[in-house]
């Protein structure tokens, strides 16, 4: 059932209209909290719309259970506040006067609750009642759960050769299609969001300070992750000393990608701009974006127009990214089904004890993040987990921090309310150098195989191991299975036979999704804590 109202733009019957909206929503048995938010937003939007309505025209108000739609003929609403894809500056920067600032702040904090468009001379504003984003999360979650059930049933009841065919022609193909699309947008997304943001920062020391804090925090959580690996090793005590001595396994070869911290640092400066984008080298793109942003701010009379071009390009790229992430549920479903019907559980079973320790350590990291958020950001950790859950699931299904980046940034913006000044830099950086889940798994891998291959580690081995794990995780690219390559470097360093690698191939494919989800969770934790402590978080309902 719809309720239609009309209102004159002179605002004389504003309170009457708002009351009617409130009564109608209450009649739908919607929670009081949600009704109040929708009513407040409707009132603010009616005021904005009234200013833009032509004389003699009326504002129409359509009330439905899930949304309220306002429309009127007039001039286009240009305010950044109702631009649902632009970057929000702080409210006070847009409207200096207090009333407008408050109005803008309210709208900004709830920007995922409405949508606006201007067509044929009519402004349309849709205000969603209840959390629209909550619905998106539920769709993501359902597609994840349904995929687990469907994948398990297919694994149990459909012949292996048919599963392989289905995987090749449907699930894996859909997954590849979306991964390609996500990888395609990463370069422009990182570049324009960071460059447009840096170009608006007046004091470059502020940027340097932020960068330093983010880096420091990432090293801190990586060290916590290594500690978590040690802790879980001692709690679960997997394997017995020397049990694998003399074991013969098939030879495995890992991709020959060299992972070196020195190369990572030296590789930050690209020798060719196109090449940085062609190879989607995130650190090089971050470097280019900062250079372009800083230079744009130094152009004197051209600064504003160049910044504007960057901001517009950013809005365009964000829109493309959001169009791609619109298909997230289909992508998550295909990835999960493909993962389940092709997973090799045989090595997983034989190494059950260390696998359990790895799972526990990864979950231990989630608890560590909750504590960090509580202590350092004074934020309710449950609310934090609830808000970041869809990014966690997305990273889990994609097994790649890089591919997950577009959605991770979106969650930081819309759900955590973090300013792009922080996330446009910290998320790409984190996806490249902050790998807490990987550090957990690498630590457990070395400890487990040293023990089972009868190698006693000395205290100096432990020190060099901690250092190598931290450095390797920083060099580890955010792509599926990269941790395996790091593991082979570590095994060699401690004289562990490479037979161990053959034993963990299957295990790593099963643990990679959770590892990646932890990697991304670590990036979001660092981003949120630093932003909150620097006063760069919008007010949200956390
Ligand atoms: N897949 C992980 C990531 O993208 C890296 C790893 O293999 O550990 O974050």
| Mean pLDDT of the 506-510 span | 82
Check residue 466 and give its pLDDT: 92
| Mean pLDDT of the 263-267 span | 76
**pLDDT surpassing 70 at residue 6:** yes
| Mean pLDDT of the 188-216 span | 87
| Mean pLDDT of the 162-174 span | 93
239 lines ligand 1 (CB under 6 A): no
- DSSP H helical ranges for 68-113: 91-94, 98-109
Distance 464 CA to ligand 1 centre (A): 22
| Mean pLDDT of the 106-116 span | 71
Distance CA 514, CA 494 (A): 26
Q: How confident is the model at residue 99 (pLDDT cuts 50, 70, 90)?
A: low
Query: What is the enclosing helix (H) or strand (E) of 173?
Result: helix 172-198
- Enter the DSSP assignment of 80: G
Distance 295 CA to ligand 1 centre (A): 34
**pLDDT surpassing 50 at residue 124:** yes
Comparing 343 with 171, the larger pLDDT belongs to 171
Q: Whose CA is nearest to atom 1 of ligand 1?
A: 480
399 lines ligand 1 (CB under 6 A): yes
Q: How confident is the model at residue 273 (pLDDT cuts 50, 70, 90)?
A: very high
Distance 521 CA to ligand 1 centre (A): 12
Distances in Å between the Cα of 287 and the Cα atoms of 263, 308, 471 are 15, 20, 20
**pLDDT surpassing 50 at residue 239:** yes
267 lines ligand 1 (CB under 6 A): no
519 lines ligand 1 (CB under 6 A): yes
Phi and psi at residue 125, in whole multiples of 5°? -130, 130
Measured from the CA of 520, which atom of ligand 1 is nearest? 9
Q: How confident is the model at residue 94 (pLDDT cuts 50, 70, 90)?
A: very low
How many Å is the Cα radius of gyration of the chain? 26
Phi and psi at residue 279, in whole multiples of 5°? -100, 10
The answer, as to whether pTM is greater than 0.85, is: no
The CA dihedral of 374, 380, 386, 391, to the nearest 10 degrees, is: -40
Q: Is 159 helix (H, G, I), strand (E, B) or coil?
A: coil
Distance CA 267, CA 321 (A): 27
Output the six-digit token pair for 171. 């699930």
| Mean pLDDT of the 73-78 span | 85
480 lines ligand 1 (CB under 6 A): yes
Locus of tokens 């790409």: 428
- Enter the DSSP assignment of 119: E
| HSE-up of residue 53 (Cα within 13 Å, Cβ side) | 23
| Mean pLDDT of the 470-476 span | 86
Locus of tokens 């149990």: 156
270 lines ligand 1 (CB under 6 A): no
| Mean pLDDT of the 353-376 span | 96
Distance 500 CA to ligand 1 centre (A): 19
Distance CA 256, CA 288 (A): 28
Distance 154 CA to ligand 1 centre (A): 27
Q: How many residues does the chain have?
A: 542
Distance CA 27, CA 459 (A): 69
- Of the ranges 221-230, 261-270, 461-470, which is most confident? 221-230
- Of the ranges 20-34, 258-272, 315-329, 378-392, which is most confident? 378-392
| Mean pLDDT of the 410-432 span | 91
408 lines ligand 1 (CB under 6 A): no
Check residue 90 and give its pLDDT: 39
Q: Is 71 helix (H, G, I), strand (E, B) or coil?
A: strand
| Mean pLDDT of the 26-41 span | 83
Phi and psi at residue 127, in whole multiples of 5°? -115, 120
- Enter the DSSP assignment of 256: -
The angle subtended at Cα 422 by Cα 417 and Cα 423, nearest 5°, is 70
Query: What is the enclosing helix (H) or strand (E) of 61?
Result: strand 59-63
Q: Which of 32-36, 433-437, 458-462 shows the lowest mean pLDDT across its residues?
A: 32-36
509 lines ligand 1 (CB under 6 A): no
Average pLDDT over the chain reads 85
Check residue 513 and give its pLDDT: 93
**pLDDT surpassing 50 at residue 91:** no
Q: Cβ atoms within 10 A of the Cβ of 174, count?
A: 18
Output the six-digit token pair for 177. 């299609």
**pLDDT surpassing 70 at residue 97:** no
Distances in Å between the Cα of 534 and the Cα atoms of 210, 338, 377 are 8, 42, 10
Distance 406 CA to ligand 1 centre (A): 16
């Amino acid at each position: 059932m719809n309720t239609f109202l009309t209102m004159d733009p002179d605002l004389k019957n504003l309170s009457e209209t708002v009351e009617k909206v409130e009564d109608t929503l209450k009649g739908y048995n919607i929670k009081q909290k949600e009704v109040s938010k929708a009513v407040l937003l409707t009132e603010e939007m009616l005021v904005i719309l009234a200013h833009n309505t032509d004389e003699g025209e009326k504002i129409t108000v359509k009330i439905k259970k899930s949304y309220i739609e306002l429309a009127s003929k007039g001039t286009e609403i240009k305010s950044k506040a109702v631009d649902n894809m632009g970057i929000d500056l702080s409210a006070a920067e847009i409207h200096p006067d207090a009333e407008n600032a408050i109005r803008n702040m309210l709208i900004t904090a709830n920007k995922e609750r409405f949508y606006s468009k201007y067509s044929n001379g009519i402004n349309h504003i849709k205000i969603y009642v209840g959390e629209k984003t909550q619905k998106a999360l539920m769709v993501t979650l359902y597609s994840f759960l349904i995929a687990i059930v469907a994948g398990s049933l297919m694994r149990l009841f459909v012949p292996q050769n048919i599963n392989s065919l289905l995987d090749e022609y449907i699930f894996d193909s859909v997954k590849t299609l979306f991964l390609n699309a996500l990888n395609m947008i990463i370069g422009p997304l990182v570049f324009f969001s960071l460059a447009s943001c840096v170009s608006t920062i007046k004091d470059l020391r502020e940027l340097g300070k932020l960068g330093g804090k983010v880096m420091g925090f990432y090293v801190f959580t990586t060290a916590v992750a290594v500690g978590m690996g040690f802790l879980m090793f001692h709690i679960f005590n997997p394997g017995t000393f020397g049990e694998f001595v003399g074991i013969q396994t098939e030879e495995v070869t890992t991709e020959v990608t060299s992972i070196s911290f020195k190369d990572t640092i030296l590789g930050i400066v690209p020798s060719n701009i196109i090449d940085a984008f062609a190879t989607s080298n995130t650190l090089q793109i971050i470097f280019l974006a900062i250079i372009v942003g800083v230079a744009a701010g130094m152009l004197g009379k051209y600064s504003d127009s160049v910044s504007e071009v960057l901001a517009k390009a950013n809005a365009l790229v964000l829109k493309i990214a959001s169009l791609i992430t619109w298909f997230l549920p289909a992508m998550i479903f295909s990835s999960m089904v493909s993962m389940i019907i092709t997973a090799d559980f045989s090595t997983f079973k034989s190494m059950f004890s260390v696998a359990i320790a790895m799972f526990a350590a990864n979950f231990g990291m989630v608890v560590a993040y909750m504590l960090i958020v509580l202590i350092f950001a004074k934020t309710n950790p449950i609310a934090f987990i609830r808000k970041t859950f869809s990014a966690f699931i997305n990273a889990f299904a994609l097994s790649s921090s890089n591919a997950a980046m577009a959605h991770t940034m979106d969650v930081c913006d819309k759900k955590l309310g973090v300013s792009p000044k922080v996330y446009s830099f910290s998320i790409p950086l984190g996806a490249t150098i902050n790998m807490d889940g990987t550090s957990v798994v690498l630590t457990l891998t070395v400890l487990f195989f040293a023990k089972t291959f009868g190698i006693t580690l000395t205290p100096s081995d432990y020190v060099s191991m901690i250092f190598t794990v931290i450095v390797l995780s920083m060099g580890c690219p955010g792509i599926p299975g990269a941790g395996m390559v790091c593991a082979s470097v570590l095994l060699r360093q401690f004289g562990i036979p490479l037979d161990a690698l053959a034993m963990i191939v299957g295990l790593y494919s099963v643990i990679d999704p959770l590892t990646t989800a932890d990697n991304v969770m670590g990036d979001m934790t660092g981003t949120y804590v630093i932003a909150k402590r620097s006063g760069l978080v919008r007010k949200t309902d956390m």
